[in-house]
Amino acid sequence: MTYVVTRLCRDCLDTACVGVCPVSCIYRYVGDDTEKYPNQLYIHPGECVDCNACEPACPWEAIFPEDDVPAVFAEDTALNYAMEDDEDDFEVCDEEEHEQPTPEAIETNKRKWGV
Protein backbone atom coordinates (compact mmCIF):
# COMPACT_ATOMS: atom_id res chain seq x y z
CA MET A 1 0.00 0.00 0.00
CA THR A 2 1.04 3.58 -0.56
CA TYR A 3 -0.06 7.00 0.55
CA VAL A 4 -1.90 9.27 -1.88
CA VAL A 5 -1.83 13.04 -2.23
CA THR A 6 -5.34 14.21 -3.10
CA ARG A 7 -6.61 17.32 -4.83
CA LEU A 8 -6.75 19.03 -1.43
CA CYS A 9 -3.09 19.81 -2.19
CA ARG A 10 -3.82 21.54 -5.51
CA ASP A 11 -2.33 25.00 -5.68
CA CYS A 12 -1.43 24.76 -1.97
CA LEU A 13 1.82 22.80 -2.38
CA ASP A 14 2.86 22.95 1.23
CA THR A 15 6.00 20.83 1.49
CA ALA A 16 5.88 19.96 5.20
CA CYS A 17 5.32 16.34 4.11
CA VAL A 18 8.59 16.40 2.18
CA GLY A 19 10.60 17.24 5.28
CA VAL A 20 9.42 14.13 7.12
CA CYS A 21 9.56 11.59 4.29
CA PRO A 22 12.43 9.18 5.02
CA VAL A 23 12.71 7.96 1.42
CA SER A 24 12.17 11.20 -0.56
CA CYS A 25 9.23 9.81 -2.54
CA ILE A 26 7.25 13.06 -2.78
CA TYR A 27 7.50 14.70 -6.16
CA ARG A 28 6.56 17.87 -8.01
CA TYR A 29 5.49 17.80 -11.66
CA VAL A 30 7.81 19.81 -13.90
CA GLY A 31 6.42 18.78 -17.30
CA ASP A 32 4.13 20.64 -19.68
CA ASP A 33 0.90 18.62 -19.43
CA THR A 34 -0.67 20.51 -16.54
CA GLU A 35 -4.11 19.29 -17.55
CA LYS A 36 -3.07 15.70 -16.84
CA TYR A 37 -0.93 16.59 -13.82
CA PRO A 38 -2.37 19.54 -11.87
CA ASN A 39 -0.30 21.77 -9.62
CA GLN A 40 0.03 19.57 -6.55
CA LEU A 41 2.49 17.16 -4.99
CA TYR A 42 2.58 13.43 -5.83
CA ILE A 43 3.71 10.40 -3.88
CA HIS A 44 5.56 7.84 -5.99
CA PRO A 45 3.69 4.59 -5.25
CA GLY A 46 6.69 2.41 -6.06
CA GLU A 47 8.93 4.26 -3.62
CA CYS A 48 6.54 4.88 -0.70
CA VAL A 49 7.38 2.65 2.27
CA ASP A 50 4.04 3.21 4.00
CA CYS A 51 5.63 4.84 7.04
CA ASN A 52 2.76 7.30 7.68
CA ALA A 53 5.14 10.22 8.31
CA CYS A 54 3.62 12.41 5.59
CA GLU A 55 -0.07 12.18 6.48
CA PRO A 56 0.03 13.95 9.86
CA ALA A 57 2.58 16.46 8.56
CA CYS A 58 0.30 17.76 5.80
CA PRO A 59 -1.32 20.97 7.06
CA TRP A 60 -3.99 20.76 4.31
CA GLU A 61 -5.03 17.23 5.34
CA ALA A 62 -4.53 16.18 1.72
CA ILE A 63 -2.73 12.85 2.23
CA PHE A 64 -4.44 9.54 2.89
CA PRO A 65 -3.47 5.88 3.02
CA GLU A 66 -4.48 4.41 -0.33
CA ASP A 67 -7.20 2.25 1.21
CA ASP A 68 -8.69 5.25 3.04
CA VAL A 69 -8.88 7.79 0.22
CA PRO A 70 -12.41 9.29 0.33
CA ALA A 71 -14.60 8.28 -2.62
CA VAL A 72 -14.75 11.89 -3.80
CA PHE A 73 -10.97 11.66 -4.42
CA ALA A 74 -10.91 8.22 -6.07
CA GLU A 75 -9.38 9.66 -9.26
CA ASP A 76 -6.46 11.02 -7.25
CA THR A 77 -5.22 7.52 -6.46
CA ALA A 78 -4.98 6.76 -10.18
CA LEU A 79 -3.28 10.11 -10.75
CA ASN A 80 -0.56 9.31 -8.22
CA TYR A 81 -0.01 5.94 -9.92
CA ALA A 82 0.05 7.55 -13.38
CA MET A 83 3.17 9.49 -12.44
CA GLU A 84 5.12 6.23 -12.74
CA ASP A 85 4.49 6.37 -16.51
CA ASP A 86 5.93 9.88 -16.79
CA GLU A 87 8.71 9.81 -14.19
CA ASP A 88 11.01 11.96 -16.31
CA ASP A 89 8.59 14.86 -15.88
CA PHE A 90 8.76 14.76 -12.07
CA GLU A 91 11.44 15.79 -9.61
CA VAL A 92 11.83 15.08 -5.94
CA CYS A 93 10.53 18.02 -4.00
CA ASP A 94 12.60 20.12 -1.67
CA GLU A 95 11.06 21.30 1.56
CA GLU A 96 10.21 25.00 1.47
CA GLU A 97 9.05 27.25 4.26
CA HIS A 98 5.31 27.99 4.08
CA GLU A 99 2.91 29.86 6.29
CA GLN A 100 0.55 27.38 7.93
CA PRO A 101 -3.05 27.56 6.75
CA THR A 102 -5.71 28.62 9.18
CA PRO A 103 -8.42 26.13 10.20
CA GLU A 104 -10.85 28.26 8.19
CA ALA A 105 -8.66 28.01 5.07
CA ILE A 106 -8.47 24.23 5.45
CA GLU A 107 -12.26 23.96 5.74
CA THR A 108 -12.78 26.28 2.77
CA ASN A 109 -10.43 24.14 0.70
CA LYS A 110 -12.27 20.97 1.68
CA ARG A 111 -15.64 22.49 0.72
CA LYS A 112 -14.14 23.58 -2.60
CA TRP A 113 -13.42 19.92 -3.43
CA GLY A 114 -16.67 18.50 -2.09
CA VAL A 115 -15.60 17.17 1.28
**CATH number for position 25:** 3.30.70.20
Check pLDDT > 90 for residue 13: no
Tens-place pLDDT, residues 35-47: 999 999 999 999 9
Domain count, the chain: 1
Tens-place pLDDT, residues 58-109: 999 999 999 999 999 999 999 999 999 999 999 998 888 888 899 999 999 9
Positive/negative CA dihedral, 44, 115, 57, 66? negative
CA-wise closest residue to 1 among 86, 81, 91, 83: 81
Return d(Cα 109, Cα 23) in angstroms, integer: 28
CA-wise closest residue to 109 among 68, 52, 59: 59
Q: Which domain holds residue 96?
A: 3-112
What pTM value is reported for the model? Answer: 0.92
